[in-house]
């Protein structure tokens, strides 16, 4: 049995796990910037509160977001391997660009977690509030690309 045939047989399972991992990843992408807002605005100068925020941010990123992002990529690539993507259409490319943007945003959040953990409060709460909209915009592009398949 060919690899793509096995993937086709497991398509619904792969799709289900892909959706679950995306949901977990998105939850973290929505919540971590909000933690940063509160960290910057409420914990600056308060070492005990700052360490609590740093611990929460670390656990969210390392225990939920990183595994979810990796699972999302793995299951997404398995879906591609199952042959369900029409590469002659535009939608796979708009989705790919948005996924790369989502991955960049994840890495940006990881960088800022380290900065906050080290006591650097250079980024404002307002900036984190604005950046908190990035995953929403990218999610809109991804969902419309996959469901509506414009163009």
pLDDT in tens, 38-56: 999 999 889 999 999 999 9
Predicted confidence (pLDDT) at residue 74 exceeds the cutoff of 80:
yes
Residue (of 54, 45, 64, 61) closest to 105 by Cα position: 61
End-to-end CA distance of the chain: 35
Tokens of 115: 């900065």
1-33 pLDDT, tens per residue?
Answer: 466 677 778 999 999 999 999 999 999 999 999
Cα–Cα distance, 139 to 47 (Å, whole number): 35
Count how many residues are written for the chain: 151
91-149 pLDDT, tens per residue?
Answer: 999 999 999 999 999 999 999 999 999 998 999 999 999 999 999 999 999 999 999 99
**Count of domains forming the chain:** 1
pTM score, two decimals?
0.92
Predicted confidence (pLDDT) at residue 151 exceeds the cutoff of 80:
no
pLDDT of residue 1: 47
pLDDT of residue 2: 62
The boundaries of the domain holding residue 109 are 3-147
pLDDT-based confidence at residue 80 (cuts at 50, 70, 90): very high
Residue (of 2, 10, 138) closest to 79 by Cα position: 10
Residue (of 131, 130, 126) closest to 41 by Cα position: 126
């Amino acid at each position: 049995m060919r690899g793509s045939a096995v993937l086709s047989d497991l398509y619904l399972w792969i799709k289900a796990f892909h959706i679950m991992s995306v949901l977990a990843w998105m939850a973290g992408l929505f919540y971590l910037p909000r933690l940063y807002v509160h960290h910057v605005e409420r914990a600056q100068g308060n070492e005990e509160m700052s360490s609590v925020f740093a611990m929460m941010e670390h656990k969210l990123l390392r225990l939920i977001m990183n595994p979810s992002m990796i699972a999302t990529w793995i299951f997404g690539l398995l879906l591609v391997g199952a042959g369900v993507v029409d590469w002659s259409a535009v939608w796979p490319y708009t989705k790919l660009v948005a996924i790369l943007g989502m991955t960049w945003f994840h890495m940006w959040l990881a960088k800022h977690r380290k900065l906050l953990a080290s006591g650097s409060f250079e980024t404002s709460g307002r900036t984190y509030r604005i950046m908190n909209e990035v995953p929403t915009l990218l999610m809109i592009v991804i969902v419309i690309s996959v469901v509506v398949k414009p163009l």
